[in-house]
Chains A and B, each alone.
Chain A
């Protein structure tokens, strides 16, 4: 029997139980359903006396009744026949199979030797229907594993698709854009193969203000895939070709386009300073900063990533970003409800804090200290980690007066609290920050006062505990601090 005495707050606790169980109930129901499903499924199979095979889903083919019972063998026969009509029929059937949601038979179609035929159909400018079906089928095969993409490329699809880009039929051209995107997305090797084949100017054949948005979305994504991947980076010449269209896309307002365009920029800025330099010089920083406050989370994420990349460049890059107004939008992102965004924003801030003292001053002036301290206190752990970096960078490059301001804003107390975390690396960074703060205090002749403050805040106690830390570096650093700044108590 449980005891009768249960504290008063149990009432509220019990009431709140109502919500969480809803979720757990869902889980139970799912489990229950799964059990049933398994049983049901068995009986279903027995009743119909069928086995699981790769037969095409009847439903998928139903719009064309003449395709019912149409098997892979029939497709092969049709595609290999001499009749355009049969070829189109076969190609469409294959495309439909490849467009199923589940288990598209990519390997079966490749193994049936259909790719060479499909690629040859791409050049039949007089048969747009067949061209389109073949392009779609090849697009979907290229969307598969690397091996599938490789099969497509090795059957000569790259030049064929590049030629197809010029098709006067927009939907066919768009399908070619899509297929090339898949090939570029496979990795740096095929990306560079495409660039070698002069894919970039060809892609822009239909790029105009009147181009339908669907086409532009596909185009933006394909362009972003051409910017993507390191080891090696895309050739600089290609980057120079890619930037003008990207910047134009950057000023549209479609979310999907903006999202992919921002990702493209984030790929391009993820490199050495000279690559960052090329991007910054295009003058897109203000727009990028503007997009950091976009209502769409999908746009904000890559914009912030790109900005983060840029401020990790030279002091000049950082200064240009500050000038573009990044410090005004960061506070909101530092308090964003999504932890991943918080973390990226804090990473950006930590890189700005690594700048020279004038930049640090701007950081203070723009009111970044309160959100920084908030994050140190209550942030998600990954955000806290970045915030600790920000403090250490700040104390390293800031003037003594700036460091005093940091301490007064509550950052010292917050990082002392974080000395309890179970992460040696974070602790080492914090100890470094403390050391930096002592250096600043030394310049102002307030070492003693700082020691007392740290002791008051419980920091000394925590550092003493760290002397028994398993990590030698932590132990060393803590001991050094204590010996240097806290041992002259005996003299008093």
Chain B
């Protein structure tokens, strides 16, 4: 069921309890977790934090904790499956689910006892009505005539004769029931067909903190990052992003206004969040402007930087702005202050000429003390890079999780900077991979979708065995492809990408993303399609990721799986 009063029905319920916190490994979940941790800390609520990367880990974590805990909070996982069926919990385990995954499983929606959804009901859910999908069995069962004994057992000793009219009515009812069932299947099919995302989990918990009047600037910043994560990883529509940004902006002004008197001046330990209409240049304040332009999806795709012509255009563009190449190529921090002063306007003006009308986007930045300014998207990239870091040979998910979590605290700027370094490397790798895929025509049109397979041995292939990195690569690649292809039909196709996952086990990771377009509804049908294709070919697949559009697959089953997918979607 949906929790309507999050304070009364969630927070006050867990207030004096020990809580198990199961957190998915995405940045929005991390931010939501930070906010909740801060609240729990504030109210001395004991909790245990368990990062979970997929369904299997969630099941294991639940089994390990179900004896000690009654209350489980699931962040960005659990909503889109029948959780009780998956975990088979005892009757007294209670699950609070704050998850952006849509559609929410109907059993979760209509279970009133154990499943509490921390999801806003006005969040574009379109849940089928109860009566359309569940039906009380009152007249149906037991209505069978006693005449028919069980197949093969002895006939009954006595038989009652039933009213023919009643029998006819029963047949009529059965027919009605069959029709109802067919309709139910149709409704559920429509409902479950597409996967998409709802309001950020971090924003949900920020709202809780606000309702409790315990919201702080840190919490607000995490909520902003959570929302920005949804934008960076392309989970929500542009309209949804802009709407939620507006909501966050109201909170930001409220906070700034509230604190005007006490700390209106910057000080070493202050924190100031501001709304910005800033550049869509990734990490530019922590890089050189030049490198940022080269490695940002928006600019790189617009110029087609993987072509000679694109490189030439970039030079013209820089010249148009009148920025000396020396300045542009040195660290942003060391650029002349005079250049930096109205840089955003200068860039916007030239970009407009070069067809990049959306070079600026509504976002937020934060100042930590005097020196450190970060855009929300910088934080997302840094934390994602830490979360999926493959630095050490045996990179440990829990370690990475903690590091990424740490990078979100302002007390741990060093960690954040190390994340930014990793993020730069990751963006470079993405850029290079995109260029090489396009130049060697690795993107194939398979009819109903585009397909790209990263071969074992491709540089940085290990990096792309991780879901966030591969998703980002996918998004960049599709955008770049749409900019480079002349085939109009191909511009409208979704993309499936496969990359080696585990060479020893012979598996690949497969990601599907919806078609690239400004007005895309970001609804992804690959989850269901993958399930069906796997089923029909009995391919050995592992549907373990919380996003159903990300799966693992045995390398040797790849071609039959794809063939089935083509047939299915054609």
Contact = CB atoms under 8 A, between A and B. Distances in A.
A36 B82 CA distance: 17
A447 B507 CA distance: 57
A231 to B, nearest CB: 15
Nearest to B169: A59
A29 B134 contact: yes
Main secondary structure of the interface of A (DSSP, over half): helix
B166 A60 contact: yes
Contacts of B191: none
B374 interface: no
B86 interface: yes
A6 interface: yes
Contact of B162 (A59, A99, A298, A341): A99
Interface stretch (A181-189, A420-428, A481-489): A181-189
B56 A2 contact: yes
Contacts of B217: none
Interface stretch (A100-108, A243-251, A361-369): A100-108
B86 A14 contact: no
B85 A25 contact: yes
Interface string B140-156: 00110100000111111
Interface residues of B, number: 59
A136 B161 contact: yes
B10 interface: no
Contact of B531 (A18, A29, A142): A18
B370 interface: no
Contact of B85 (A14, A28, A33): A28
A41 B144 CA distance: 22
A301 B154 CA distance: 9
Interface in A1-51: 1-2, 4, 6, 8, 10-12, 14-15, 18, 21, 24-25, 27-29, 32-33, 35-37, 40
A338 interface: yes
A33 B134 contact: yes
Nearest to B113: A35
Interface stretch (A111-119, A220-228, A384-392): A220-228
A66 to B, nearest CB: 15
A340 interface: yes
A101 B51 CA distance: 55
Contacts of A33: 134-137
Contacts of A435: none
A15 B135 CA distance: 30
Given A2-B57, A15-B541, A60-B163, A35 B107 contact: no
Nearest to A340: B152
Residue among A35, A63, A101 with the highest chain B CB neighbour number at 10 A:
A101
A16 to B, nearest CB: 9
A167 interface: no
B158 A186 contact: yes
A394 interface: no
Contacts of B60: 2
B159 A182 contact: yes
B540 A12 contact: yes
Given A2-B56, A301-B152, A185 B158 contact: yes
Contacts of B145: 101
A383 B309 CA distance: 80
A297 to B, nearest CB: 5
A40 B135 CA distance: 11
Nearest to B144: A101
B107 A101 contact: no
A15 B540 contact: yes
A178 to B, nearest CB: 6
B29 to A, nearest CB: 16
Contacts of B169: 59
Given A11-B542, A15-B534, A32-B111, A1 B50 contact: yes
B114 to A, nearest CB: 10
Most chain A CB within a 10 A radius of its CB, from B57, B145, B505, B506: B505
Contacts of A341: 152
Interface string A128-144: 00000000100110111
Nearest to B554: A11
A32 B107 contact: yes
A161 interface: no
A101 B142 contact: yes
B134 A36 contact: yes
Interface string A182-219: 10011000000000000000000000000000000000
Contacts of B154: 263, 302
Given A2-B61, A40-B136, A260-B155, A178 B161 contact: yes
Interface in A265-309: 297-298, 300-302
Contact of B540 (A11, A24, A59, A181): A11
A142 B535 contact: no
B159 A15 contact: no
A149 interface: yes
A41 B275 CA distance: 54
A298 B134 contact: no
A14 B159 contact: no
B155 A263 contact: yes
Given A6-B56, A24-B85, A60-B163, A143 B540 contact: no
A259 B153 CA distance: 10
Interface residues of A, number: 61
B541 A11 contact: yes
A173 to B, nearest CB: 14
Contacts of B50: 1
Contacts of A142: 158
B543 to A, nearest CB: 7
Contacts of A18: 531, 535
Interface string B229-242: 00000000000000
A36 B157 contact: no
Nearest to A8: B505
B507 A11 contact: yes
A338 B56 contact: no
Contacts of A301: 152-153
Given A29-B107, A33-B135, A96 B163 contact: yes
Interface string A224-243: 11001000000000000000
Contacts of A338: 152
Contacts of B506: 8
B215 interface: no
Most chain A C-beta atoms within 10 Å of own C-beta, residue among B137, B145, B158, B540: B158
Contacts of A140: 160-161
B110 A32 contact: yes
B160 A139 contact: yes
B155 A143 contact: no
A259 B540 contact: no
B1 to A, nearest CB: 11
B439 to A, nearest CB: 34
A23 B505 CA distance: 31
Given A297-B151, A338-B152, A101 B162 contact: yes
Contacts of B137: 33, 37
Contacts of B541: 11, 14-15
B400 to A, nearest CB: 11
Contacts of A101: 142-143, 145, 162, 166, 170
B189 interface: no
- The 3 tightest CB contacts between A and B, nearest first, are A185-B157, A99-B163, A143-B160
Given A33-B134, A37-B136, A59-B169, 10 more contacts: A4-B397, A11-B552, A15-B535, A21-B85, A29-B107, A37-B137, A99-B163, A99-B166, A101-B142, A104-B160
Interface of A: 1-2, 4, 6, 8, 10-12, 14-15, 18, 21, 24-25, 27-29, 32-33, 35-37, 40, 59-60, 63, 96, 98-102, 104, 136, 139-140, 142-144, 149, 175, 178, 181-182, 185-186, 221, 224-225, 228, 259-260, 263, 297-298, 300-302, 338, 340-341
15 contacts: A1-B50, A11-B554, A12-B540, A14-B543, A15-B542, A28-B85, A28-B107, A29-B107, A36-B136, A99-B166, A139-B161, A178-B159, A181-B159, A185-B156, A263-B155
